[in-house]
Structure 1
Amino acid sequence: MELSVKDVGDVTVATVVGSIDGLTAGALQDALEEQVRGGRTRLAVDFSAVDYTSSAGLRTLLAVVKEARRAGGDFRLGAVRPDVNRVLEISGFTGILKLFPGIDDAVASYGR
């Protein structure tokens, strides 16, 4: 799993590449929560290159969503692949997370 982060206006865009599993979920959670603790509470995460997420990945998403919302921000996912989206649907996460067709849509949604 690889992660890159950039700011687009007042939104922090994180691009995740690869699989999120028991070996990588902790590093992802640490990196995203570090953004929130640093005052970057409006997160948009590009999932276009995420090919798999395990239950550890789901727990990471939930933890970061809670952290961002506690800090007065939010967490949005863009460009989720169909297989990963199916995991989110089955696990009930589509009712918790805000999903968008593309990362640009996720970023733009903060302006609405």
Structure 2
Amino acid sequence: MDDETRRTAQTLIDFYAGFAASDDEAEQRAAFETSMAALNEGDALIATMDDDGELTLDFTRILLATGATLQWLMERLQSATGESAEALTFELRTFIDGLADG
């Protein structure tokens, strides 16, 4: 993992920590904005436009940083609970589906 991807992972962790630390909407918005600025500065998302005006977005750093973070968390959770990776993944998917607007 290169330095920019590590910084991206740290920024995602900082976002979680800042967002989860408060129920105050203004503080959560500040955590989001601070993290977005850091992600922009660190080239977490790279946008390029070719000669034909076609935009290409490279999410590689965000995906690698998120993947490494999820892997670590899932391994810790699996170790702590004794549940299988499959069961935890199913529970996580169920939780995410429950967040849907609707």
Structure with the higher strand share, 1 or 2: 1
Query: Normalising by structure 1, what TM-score?
Result: 0.33
Query: Normalising by structure 2, what TM-score?
Result: 0.35
Structure with the higher helix share, 1 or 2: 2
Q: Which has the greater radius of gyration?
A: 2
